Amino acid sequence: MAVKKRNSNRVWPDFLDYFRQDFRREILGWVTVSKYFGLIIPLIIALLIALIIYINPFTPKKAFLATGQEGSSYSELAEKFAAFFKQNGVELELIKTPSLEQGLSDLSNAKSRVNASFMTAGSTRPGQYPELVSLGSIQYAPVWIFYREKIKLGENPFAALMTQKMAIGTEGTNTQKILKKMLSLNGLELTPRSNLFELSNQEAANRFVDGDLDAVFIVDGIESPNVRKLLSVPDVKIFDFSLATAYVKNLPFLGVVKIPRGALDIKNIYPPEEITMLASTVTLLVEKDMHPAIQWLFILAAKNISADGNQFFEKAKYFPVYSDHNIGLSEIAKRYYEAGIPPVFDYFSVAMASLIDRIWVILLALVLAIIPLFKLLLTIREYPSGKLLYDFWQDLRDFEHDLELIETRADAQLLVDQLEELAAAVIETWFEDDVLHRYFGLKKTIAEVREKANKRLAEFA
């Protein structure tokens, strides 16, 4: 049979030669290597699968955000987040909760579908929610005290307010917690009284408009429909925290914000004087294992909302910022606050950019290690090849030794048969290219030993 010559002077014929003559040998080689190393190959495959699971390349198509009370700025803010998510091909389902505290409770409950929630600063203790991480604060939540113009607050305004028909927020909310801390600083306690009402923000606003209340204590953004409703009441006044700096010293989770004179209504110059207020911040919390792409979407949404320039208390692009340190930052948020948005997000979708951002270090390491890895790969292939060849030489040496011990025709025939099997096994066994000269040397030596064995067999005949 004529041997098919290899074409080595042109690319495509050479390429076809590889698949015609070498490809099967390569597959056989890797099968041999796999059999030789046994469990090591499945272990490597398992490590690769673990790496894929760690990278988690598939972005969820849905996330769930608790929004807090209806009519609050948090609910309005959640709608903006949902719109941004929709633009990026992910659905953000908004889960209405009676309070942010309930949203936080749902978020920390493994059985709940909520995997993100807002939280106002001051409502948690360090280490209270180890299973949650922060993406940073995303807007101010001012502390408002609305009261009727007819009320005279005097030297001790909080003592005066406690005598009025006043809404103090619902039990367990951060609104009530902040009120209790402020009262404590003024030597007062929040005790059950017939003139104090635990109402939702929406109900408190409605009753104040209807004239059933004299004052409302509320922690919410100025964009809140409830706050806007309270500001629309003709005889309403906004409490001015003249001791704001002193409050911040004692309640460091609060900051100072101001409403300039006439900022709410320039035509009627309202407020008539600048008002100093205290403000908490709204922090976005998520589950620790939330997919990185979804975390990036939340951060990008917060950045986009802050950049629209329609912010009353803060400068545009001020948020997001890490201000409430009671909940630790996620690794994604740390990267953002240290280095900003990675440039890759300018060229790819959020899902793809997030994947590239997570694996570029791994890819860089692989690129840098590709040459030593390739050499290691060749070494891995060469070792079983050399070991198998060595085993054949050992067998051949034993056969040659046995050749000197032949005493009967049956012994000679057995040795001849064994040498035939050895020769067939050598032909069927894969060897690395670098040891082919040893392979042909082995075949030649087997033929020589087999010729000696046949001579001994002929002698007995």
**pLDDT tens, position by position, 265-275:** 999 999 999 99
Into which CATH architecture does domain 11-51+370-460 fall?
Up-down Bundle (1.20)
**In the chain, where are the structural domains located?**
11-51+370-460, 62-361
Whole-number Å distance between alpha carbons of 220 and 231: 13
pLDDT grade for 66, boundaries at 50, 70 and 90? very high
- 124-128, 136-140, 427-431 — which is least confidently predicted? 427-431
Q: Are 67 and 75 in contact (CB under 8 A)?
A: yes
pLDDT tens-digit map of 404-422? 888 888 888 888 888 888 8
Q: Sign of dihedral through CA atoms 310, 314, 317, 320?
A: negative
Closest among 427, 287, 296, 276 to 352, alpha carbons compared: 296
Residue 162 has pLDDT above 80, yes or no: yes
State the average pLDDT over residues 33-48: 66
Phi-psi region of 337 (alpha: psi -120 to 50; beta: other; left: phi over 0): alpha
Q: Residue written as tokens 């990278």?
A: 55
pLDDT grade, residue 396 (50/70/90)?
Answer: confident
pLDDT score at 374: 60
- pLDDT, residue 386, reads 74
- CATH number for domain 62-361, candidates 3.40.190.10, 3.40.50.11540, 3.30.465.10, 3.40.640.10: 3.40.190.10
